[in-house]
Amino acid sequence: MMIVAEGLEKSYKSGGRPLPVLRSLDLSIEAESFVSIVGPSGSGKTTLLGLLAGLDEPSSGRVLLDGEDIFDLSEDGRAAFRAERVGFVFQTFHLLPTLSALENVLVPLELRGEVAGAQEVAAALLERVGLGGRLDHFPAQLSGGEQQRVALARAFSNRPKILFADEPTGNLDQETGASIVEMMEELNHEGGTTLVLVTHDLSLAERADRVLTLGGGRVAEDRPGRGAL
Amino acid sequence: MRLAIRESRQGLRRIGVYMASITLGVGALVSIHSFRDDFARSVQEEADVLMGANARLSGDAPMGGAVDAVLDSLQGAGVEVARVTTASSMVLAPSTQTVRLLQVRGIDPGYPYYGAVATEPEDAWGLHLEPGQVLVDPAALSQLGVAIGDSLTVGTLSVQVAGTVDDLPTDVAFQTAIGPRVHMSQETLEAAGLIGFGSLARYEVFMRVASEEDREAIRERYGGLFRDADVSYRTAEEQARGLSNGVRFMGRFLALVGLAALLLGGVGVASAIHVYIREKRSSIAVLRCLGAGQGTAFLAYLTQAALLGLMGAGAGVVLGIGLQEVMPILLRGVLPVDVTTQLSLTSVAAGLGIGIWVAVVFALIPLLQVRDVPPLAALRQDFDPPKRQVDPVRFAAWTLLALSVLALCAYEAPNIELGLGFAVSLAIAGGAIASVGMGLMWATRRYFPSKASYPVRQGVSNLFRPQNQTISVTLALGFGAFVIGTIVQVERALRDDLTISFGSGRPNLLLFDIQTDQLAGIRALLPNEVRAESEASPIVTSRIAAINGIDADSLRSNPNRDARPEAWALRREYRNTYRASVGRAEEVVSGRWWDGTPGSDDGTRVDAGDLPRVSLELDIAESLRVGLGDTITWDVSGIRVPTVVTSLRRVDWGQLEPNFFAILEPGVLDEAPQTIVMIARIVDPNVRARVQRDLVGAFPNVSALDFSRVQETIDSVLSRVRQAVAFLGGFSALAGVLVLVGALATSRMQRLREGALLRTLGARRRQVMTVLFAEYLALGTIATASGLILAVVAAWLLVPNVFEIEYSVRATPIIAIWGIVVCLTVLTGLLSSRELLRRPPLPILREAPE
Tens digit of each residue's pLDDT (9 = 90 or more) over B405-439: 889 888 887 778 878 888 888 888 889 998 998 99
Name every chain A residue with its beta carbon within 8 A of the beta carbon of B760: 53, 55, 82, 88, 94
**Residue B533 DSSP SS3:** coil
What is the predicted pLDDT for the residue at B13? 62
Please indicate if any CB of chain B lies within 8 Å of the CB of A108. yes
What is the predicted pLDDT for the residue at B173? 44
Same structural domain for residues B850 and B731? Answer: yes
Please indicate if any CB of chain A lies within 8 Å of the CB of B845. yes
Confirm whether B60 is domain-assigned: yes
Beta-strand pair B703-706/B550-551: unpaired
Answer whether residue B175 shows pLDDT above 50: no
Answer whether residue A228 shows pLDDT above 80: no
| Segment B507-518 mean pLDDT | 82
| Of the ranges A121-130, B290-299, B332-341, the best mean pLDDT one | A121-130
Name every chain B residue with its beta carbon within 8 A of the beta carbon of A112: 762
Size of interface A-B (CB pairs under 8 A): 80
Residue of higher predicted confidence among B640 and B532? B640
Beta-carbon separation of A94 and B454 below 8 A: no
Same structural domain for residues B409 and B266? Answer: yes
Confirm whether B516 is domain-assigned: no
Same structural domain for residues B267 and B315? Answer: yes
Specify whether the CB–CB gap between A112 and B762 falls below 8 A: yes
Confirm whether B404 is domain-assigned: yes
Please indicate if any CB of chain B lies within 8 Å of the CB of A217. no
What is the predicted pLDDT for the residue at B615? 94
Confirm whether B461 is domain-assigned: yes
B335 DSSP assignment: S
**Residue A183 distance to chain B (closest CA, Å):** 20
Report the C-alpha gap between B47 and B734 in whole angstroms: 37
Beta-carbon separation of B466 and A97 below 8 A: yes
What is the predicted pLDDT for the residue at A48? 93
**Lowest-confidence range among A14-23, B155-164, B206-215, B330-339?**
B330-339
Name every chain A residue with its beta carbon within 8 A of the beta carbon of B846: 46
CA trace torsion B98, B102, B105, B111 (10° rounding) = -100
Confirm whether B524 is domain-assigned: no
**Residue A6 DSSP SS3:** strand
Specify whether the CB–CB gap between B156 and B105 falls below 8 A: no
Same structural domain for residues B75 and B195? Answer: yes
Please indicate if any CB of chain A lies within 8 Å of the CB of B842. yes
What is the predicted pLDDT for the residue at B59? 86
* Domain coverage including residue B566: 535-680
Same structural domain for residues B352 and B436? Answer: yes
| Segment A161-189 mean pLDDT | 85
- From B762, B845, B850, residue closest to A111, measured CB to CB: B762
Answer whether residue B5 shows pLDDT above 70: no
What confidence tens digit (pLDDT) does each residue in B477-506 have?
Answer: 888 888 778 877 887 787 777 666 665 567
**Residue B737 distance to chain A (closest CA, Å):** 25
Confirm whether B18 is domain-assigned: yes
Q: What is the mean pLDDT of chain B?
A: 82
Q: Where are the beta strands (DSSP E) in B570-674?
A: 574-578, 586-591, 613-617, 631-636, 639-651, 662-664
Same structural domain for residues B189 and B293? Answer: no
Number of structural domains chain B divides into: 4
What is the predicted pLDDT for the residue at B714? 66
Name every chain A residue with its beta carbon within 8 A of the beta carbon of B759: 55, 75, 79
Answer whether residue B249 shows pLDDT above 70: no
Confirm whether B691 is domain-assigned: no
* Minimal-distance CA residue of chain B relative to A157: B761
What is the predicted pLDDT for the residue at B9? 56
The domain boundary residue, chosen from B222, B242, B262: B242
Report the C-alpha gap between A30 and B260 in whole angstroms: 66
Tell me the residues of chain B between 440 and 479 that have a Cβ less than 8 Å away from chain A.
454, 458, 461-462, 464-466
- From B753, B757, B764, residue closest to A80, measured CB to CB: B764
Mutate to test the interface with B, among A94, A138, A163 (most CBs of B within 10 A): A94
Same structural domain for residues B634 and B729? Answer: no
Confirm whether B697 is domain-assigned: no
Report the C-alpha gap between B227 and B217 in whole angstroms: 15
- Please, what CATH class does the domain formed by A3-221 belong to? alpha beta
Same structural domain for residues B300 and B342? Answer: yes
The neighbour count for residue B427, using CB atoms within 10 Å, is: 14
Report the C-alpha gap between B112 and B116 in whole angstroms: 8
- From A55, A81, A93, residue closest to B841, measured CB to CB: A55
Beta-strand pair B613-617/B639-651: parallel
The domain limits of chain A are 3-221
Please state whether the predicted TM-score (pTM) of the whole model is above 0.90. Answer: no
What is the predicted pLDDT for the residue at B135? 92
3 state SS for B137-170: CHHHHHHHCCCCCCEEEECCEEEEEEEEEEECCC
**Lowest-confidence range among A114-118, B186-190, B696-700?**
B696-700
| Segment B49-59 mean pLDDT | 87
Closest Cα partner for A174 from A151, A153, A144? A144
- From B462, B760, B767, residue closest to A55, measured CB to CB: B760
Same structural domain for residues B68 and B119? Answer: yes
Please indicate if any CB of chain A lies within 8 Å of the CB of B714. no
| Chain Cα centroid distance, residue B696 | 37
The domain boundary residue, chosen from B447, B470, B487: B447
Answer whether residue B819 shows pLDDT above 90: yes
Specify whether the CB–CB gap between B185 and B162 falls below 8 A: no
Please indicate if any CB of chain B lies within 8 Å of the CB of A73. no
What confidence tens digit (pLDDT) does each residue in B266-314 have?
Answer: 877 887 787 778 777 777 888 777 777 777 878 888 888 888 888 889 9
- From B761, B766, B849, residue closest to A107, measured CB to CB: B761
Answer whether residue A154 shows pLDDT above 50: yes
Same structural domain for residues B290 and B402? Answer: yes
* Minimal-distance CA residue of chain A relative to B846: A46
